[in-house]
Amino acid sequence: MERENSPNERLAAWKRDPGSSAILTDIDGTLAPIVPTPDMSEVPADLKEILGRLSGEYLLVAGISGRKSEDARKLIGLEDIVYFGNHGFEILRDGEVEMIPEAQPYLEKIQELESHAREELEPQGAFIEEKGITASIHFRNVSKEIGGRCVEFVKAEGERLGLRITVGRGVVEARPPIQADKGSATRRLVREYGPKRAMFLGDDTTDLDAFRALEGLRDEGVLEEILRIGVKSDEGPPEIASEADIVVDGVEGVGEILEALL
Protein backbone atom coordinates (compact mmCIF):
# COMPACT_ATOMS: atom_id res chain seq x y z
CA MET A 1 0.00 0.00 0.00
CA GLU A 2 2.94 2.35 0.53
CA ARG A 3 4.01 4.49 -2.39
CA GLU A 4 7.25 4.29 -4.36
CA ASN A 5 9.70 2.33 -2.20
CA SER A 6 9.15 -0.07 0.67
CA PRO A 7 8.94 1.42 4.18
CA ASN A 8 12.41 0.15 5.09
CA GLU A 9 13.92 1.81 2.01
CA ARG A 10 12.16 5.07 2.75
CA LEU A 11 13.32 5.03 6.38
CA ALA A 12 16.97 4.37 5.53
CA ALA A 13 17.97 8.06 5.43
CA TRP A 14 16.33 8.65 8.80
CA LYS A 15 18.32 5.85 10.42
CA ARG A 16 21.57 7.15 8.94
CA ASP A 17 21.07 10.65 10.36
CA PRO A 18 18.77 10.48 13.41
CA GLY A 19 20.30 13.60 14.91
CA SER A 20 18.68 15.68 12.15
CA SER A 21 15.31 13.90 12.17
CA ALA A 22 12.07 14.49 14.09
CA ILE A 23 9.43 11.87 14.87
CA LEU A 24 6.03 13.42 15.60
CA THR A 25 3.05 11.22 16.40
CA ASP A 26 -0.57 11.23 17.40
CA ILE A 27 -1.39 9.02 20.40
CA ASP A 28 -4.98 7.70 20.51
CA GLY A 29 -5.64 5.42 17.55
CA THR A 30 -1.96 5.54 16.58
CA LEU A 31 0.11 4.49 19.62
CA ALA A 32 -2.88 3.32 21.66
CA PRO A 33 -5.82 1.31 20.29
CA ILE A 34 -9.16 3.12 20.20
CA VAL A 35 -11.30 2.21 23.24
CA PRO A 36 -14.82 3.18 24.40
CA THR A 37 -13.63 5.99 26.72
CA PRO A 38 -10.25 7.81 26.97
CA ASP A 39 -9.58 6.64 30.54
CA MET A 40 -9.40 3.05 29.24
CA SER A 41 -6.67 3.87 26.73
CA GLU A 42 -3.23 2.29 27.04
CA VAL A 43 -0.02 2.42 25.02
CA PRO A 44 1.47 -1.08 24.72
CA ALA A 45 4.64 -1.63 26.75
CA ASP A 46 6.71 -2.56 23.69
CA LEU A 47 5.82 0.75 21.99
CA LYS A 48 6.79 2.70 25.11
CA GLU A 49 10.13 0.92 25.12
CA ILE A 50 10.73 1.70 21.43
CA LEU A 51 9.77 5.37 21.89
CA GLY A 52 12.15 5.62 24.83
CA ARG A 53 15.01 4.30 22.72
CA LEU A 54 14.12 6.57 19.81
CA SER A 55 14.12 9.63 22.09
CA GLY A 56 17.75 8.87 22.91
CA GLU A 57 18.76 8.67 19.24
CA TYR A 58 16.68 11.23 17.35
CA LEU A 59 16.74 15.02 17.47
CA LEU A 60 13.10 15.15 18.59
CA VAL A 61 10.36 12.71 19.51
CA ALA A 62 7.02 14.38 20.27
CA GLY A 63 3.48 13.27 20.99
CA ILE A 64 0.89 15.66 19.52
CA SER A 65 -2.48 14.83 20.98
CA GLY A 66 -6.03 16.00 21.49
CA ARG A 67 -5.58 15.13 25.18
CA LYS A 68 -4.26 17.52 27.77
CA SER A 69 -0.48 17.45 27.56
CA GLU A 70 -0.21 16.10 31.13
CA ASP A 71 -2.65 13.29 30.31
CA ALA A 72 -0.65 12.49 27.19
CA ARG A 73 2.50 12.21 29.31
CA LYS A 74 0.74 9.88 31.77
CA LEU A 75 -0.41 7.68 28.91
CA ILE A 76 3.03 7.30 27.33
CA GLY A 77 4.93 7.54 30.61
CA LEU A 78 8.18 8.96 29.22
CA GLU A 79 9.80 12.14 30.54
CA ASP A 80 12.28 12.68 27.70
CA ILE A 81 9.84 13.42 24.89
CA VAL A 82 7.86 16.60 24.17
CA TYR A 83 4.07 16.59 24.55
CA PHE A 84 1.95 19.01 22.55
CA GLY A 85 -1.57 18.70 23.93
CA ASN A 86 -5.10 19.94 23.41
CA HIS A 87 -4.67 20.02 19.62
CA GLY A 88 -1.85 22.54 19.74
CA PHE A 89 -3.07 24.78 22.56
CA GLU A 90 -0.44 23.71 25.12
CA ILE A 91 3.02 22.21 25.23
CA LEU A 92 4.71 20.22 28.00
CA ARG A 93 8.48 19.85 28.16
CA ASP A 94 11.03 19.88 30.94
CA GLY A 95 8.17 19.48 33.41
CA GLU A 96 6.44 22.77 32.48
CA VAL A 97 3.09 23.29 30.71
CA GLU A 98 2.78 26.35 28.49
CA MET A 99 -0.62 27.43 27.07
CA ILE A 100 -0.63 29.63 24.01
CA PRO A 101 -1.78 33.07 25.29
CA GLU A 102 -4.38 33.66 22.58
CA ALA A 103 -6.48 30.79 23.98
CA GLN A 104 -6.82 32.02 27.55
CA PRO A 105 -9.83 34.37 26.99
CA TYR A 106 -11.94 31.41 25.79
CA LEU A 107 -11.48 29.24 28.87
CA GLU A 108 -14.79 30.29 30.50
CA LYS A 109 -16.76 29.61 27.31
CA ILE A 110 -15.24 26.13 27.03
CA GLN A 111 -16.15 25.45 30.64
CA GLU A 112 -19.72 26.63 30.01
CA LEU A 113 -20.13 24.28 27.05
CA GLU A 114 -18.65 21.43 29.08
CA SER A 115 -21.06 22.09 31.95
CA HIS A 116 -24.10 22.11 29.64
CA ALA A 117 -22.88 18.91 27.97
CA ARG A 118 -22.66 17.20 31.36
CA GLU A 119 -26.24 18.18 32.13
CA GLU A 120 -27.65 17.25 28.73
CA LEU A 121 -25.49 14.43 27.34
CA GLU A 122 -23.99 12.51 30.27
CA PRO A 123 -27.43 11.14 31.30
CA GLN A 124 -27.71 9.74 27.77
CA GLY A 125 -24.41 7.87 28.10
CA ALA A 126 -21.90 10.28 26.59
CA PHE A 127 -18.48 10.68 28.24
CA ILE A 128 -17.29 14.26 28.82
CA GLU A 129 -13.52 14.49 29.11
CA GLU A 130 -12.00 17.21 31.31
CA LYS A 131 -9.35 18.94 29.19
CA GLY A 132 -9.12 22.57 30.26
CA ILE A 133 -8.88 24.80 27.18
CA THR A 134 -10.77 22.36 24.93
CA ALA A 135 -13.77 20.11 25.51
CA SER A 136 -14.26 16.57 24.18
CA ILE A 137 -17.60 14.77 24.20
CA HIS A 138 -17.19 11.06 23.43
CA PHE A 139 -20.11 9.13 21.97
CA ARG A 140 -18.42 5.89 20.93
CA ASN A 141 -20.21 3.96 23.70
CA VAL A 142 -23.76 5.13 22.81
CA SER A 143 -26.20 4.42 19.99
CA LYS A 144 -25.86 6.08 16.60
CA GLU A 145 -28.97 8.14 17.31
CA ILE A 146 -27.60 9.51 20.59
CA GLY A 147 -24.23 10.08 18.94
CA GLY A 148 -25.98 12.26 16.39
CA ARG A 149 -27.64 14.20 19.21
CA CYS A 150 -24.24 14.76 20.83
CA VAL A 151 -22.82 16.21 17.62
CA GLU A 152 -25.80 18.49 17.01
CA PHE A 153 -25.88 19.68 20.63
CA VAL A 154 -22.19 20.56 20.70
CA LYS A 155 -22.38 22.25 17.30
CA ALA A 156 -25.29 24.40 18.48
CA GLU A 157 -23.55 25.31 21.75
CA GLY A 158 -20.34 26.01 19.91
CA GLU A 159 -22.08 28.38 17.52
CA ARG A 160 -23.76 30.18 20.42
CA LEU A 161 -20.49 30.59 22.30
CA GLY A 162 -18.32 31.36 19.29
CA LEU A 163 -16.19 28.22 19.50
CA ARG A 164 -14.72 25.99 16.82
CA ILE A 165 -16.26 22.50 16.58
CA THR A 166 -14.70 19.42 14.99
CA VAL A 167 -15.95 15.84 14.72
CA GLY A 168 -13.62 12.83 14.86
CA ARG A 169 -13.79 9.09 15.50
CA GLY A 170 -16.55 8.83 18.11
CA VAL A 171 -15.88 12.29 19.51
CA VAL A 172 -17.02 15.89 18.97
CA GLU A 173 -14.71 18.60 20.23
CA ALA A 174 -14.94 22.33 21.02
CA ARG A 175 -11.93 24.67 20.88
CA PRO A 176 -11.17 28.39 20.88
CA PRO A 177 -11.65 29.81 17.35
CA ILE A 178 -7.98 30.59 16.84
CA GLN A 179 -5.33 28.93 14.71
CA ALA A 180 -4.11 26.11 16.89
CA ASP A 181 -4.21 22.51 15.75
CA LYS A 182 -1.85 19.63 15.12
CA GLY A 183 -0.61 21.50 12.07
CA SER A 184 0.38 24.61 14.00
CA ALA A 185 1.95 22.39 16.68
CA THR A 186 3.96 20.62 13.98
CA ARG A 187 5.11 23.92 12.51
CA ARG A 188 6.20 25.26 15.90
CA LEU A 189 8.21 22.16 16.76
CA VAL A 190 9.95 22.10 13.37
CA ARG A 191 10.82 25.80 13.63
CA GLU A 192 12.14 25.46 17.19
CA TYR A 193 14.15 22.24 16.83
CA GLY A 194 15.29 22.68 13.22
CA PRO A 195 15.27 19.11 11.84
CA LYS A 196 16.17 18.40 8.22
CA ARG A 197 13.40 15.83 7.99
CA ALA A 198 10.22 15.23 9.95
CA MET A 199 7.49 12.61 9.98
CA PHE A 200 4.02 12.46 11.47
CA LEU A 201 2.00 9.36 12.31
CA GLY A 202 -1.78 9.70 12.63
CA ASP A 203 -5.17 8.10 12.09
CA ASP A 204 -7.91 10.74 12.30
CA THR A 205 -9.24 13.97 10.83
CA THR A 206 -7.24 16.24 13.13
CA ASP A 207 -4.02 14.52 12.06
CA LEU A 208 -4.53 15.73 8.49
CA ASP A 209 -3.57 19.23 9.70
CA ALA A 210 -0.15 17.84 10.63
CA PHE A 211 0.17 16.03 7.28
CA ARG A 212 -0.55 19.27 5.43
CA ALA A 213 1.78 21.31 7.65
CA LEU A 214 4.64 18.97 6.81
CA GLU A 215 3.89 19.30 3.10
CA GLY A 216 3.90 23.09 3.42
CA LEU A 217 7.19 23.10 5.34
CA ARG A 218 8.79 20.96 2.65
CA ASP A 219 7.48 23.21 -0.13
CA GLU A 220 8.83 26.25 1.73
CA GLY A 221 12.27 24.65 1.93
CA VAL A 222 12.21 24.40 5.72
CA LEU A 223 12.35 20.58 5.56
CA GLU A 224 14.36 18.51 3.10
CA GLU A 225 12.22 15.41 3.51
CA ILE A 226 8.90 14.47 5.10
CA LEU A 227 6.98 11.26 5.77
CA ARG A 228 3.28 11.06 6.49
CA ILE A 229 2.35 7.72 8.05
CA GLY A 230 -1.38 7.02 7.83
CA VAL A 231 -2.94 4.50 10.22
CA LYS A 232 -5.81 2.84 8.36
CA SER A 233 -9.12 2.15 10.12
CA ASP A 234 -12.76 1.62 9.19
CA GLU A 235 -13.74 4.80 11.06
CA GLY A 236 -10.95 7.11 9.93
CA PRO A 237 -11.31 9.60 7.07
CA PRO A 238 -10.27 8.34 3.61
CA GLU A 239 -7.79 11.23 3.34
CA ILE A 240 -5.60 9.56 5.97
CA ALA A 241 -4.76 6.92 3.38
CA SER A 242 -4.89 9.12 0.27
CA GLU A 243 -2.61 11.83 1.72
CA ALA A 244 -0.17 9.46 3.44
CA ASP A 245 3.19 8.41 2.03
CA ILE A 246 2.98 5.08 3.86
CA VAL A 247 -0.20 3.40 5.11
CA VAL A 248 -0.14 0.88 7.96
CA ASP A 249 -2.74 -1.26 9.70
CA GLY A 250 -3.45 -0.17 13.26
CA VAL A 251 -1.15 0.16 16.24
CA GLU A 252 0.73 -2.99 15.25
CA GLY A 253 1.71 -1.38 11.95
CA VAL A 254 2.85 1.75 13.78
CA GLY A 255 5.07 -0.41 15.98
CA GLU A 256 6.73 -1.91 12.90
CA ILE A 257 7.50 1.58 11.53
CA LEU A 258 8.93 2.81 14.82
CA GLU A 259 11.01 -0.33 15.28
CA ALA A 260 12.40 0.09 11.77
CA LEU A 261 13.66 3.55 12.79
CA LEU A 262 15.92 2.16 15.50
Domains identified in the chain, total number: 2
CATH of the domain at 137: 3.30.70.1020
Boundary of a domain, candidates 148, 175, 202: 175
Return mean pLDDT, the chain.
92
Residue 169's alpha-carbon distances to 31, 36, 76, 132, in angstroms, are 15, 11, 21, 21
Radius of gyration of the chain (CA): 18
Please tell me whether residues 190 and 83 are part of one structural domain.
Answer: yes
Question: In this structure, is residue 160 part of a structural domain?
Answer: yes
Residue 96 sits in the same domain as residue 184: yes
Q: Are residues 94 and 218 in the same domain?
A: yes
pLDDT in tens, 172-217: 999 999 989 999 999 999 999 999 999 999 999 999 999 999 999 9
Q: Which helix (H) or strand (E) holds 260?
A: helix 250-260
Residues of the chain predicted below pLDDT 50: 1-4
Q: Are residues 77 and 192 in the same domain?
A: yes
Catalytic annotation, residues: 26
Task: Give the pLDDT confidence score for residue 233 in this predicted structure.
Answer: 86
Host domain of residue 121 = 103-175
The set of residues, in sequence order, having a beta carbon less than 8 Å from that of 195 and lying 6+ positions away, is 20, 21, 22, 59, 60, 223
Same-domain check for residues 196 and 216: yes
CATH number at residue 54: 3.40.50.1000
Surface-to-core class of residue 113, CB atoms within 10 Å of its CB (0-12 exposed, 13-18 middle, 19+ buried): buried
Q: What is the pLDDT of residue 234?
A: 82
Task: Give the pLDDT of residue 5.
Answer: 59
Residues 121 and 225 in one domain: no
Which of the listed residues 175, 205, 221 is the one where a domain comes to its end? 175
Domain identity same for 256 and 193: yes
Q: How far apart are CA 142 and CA 124, in angstroms?
A: 8
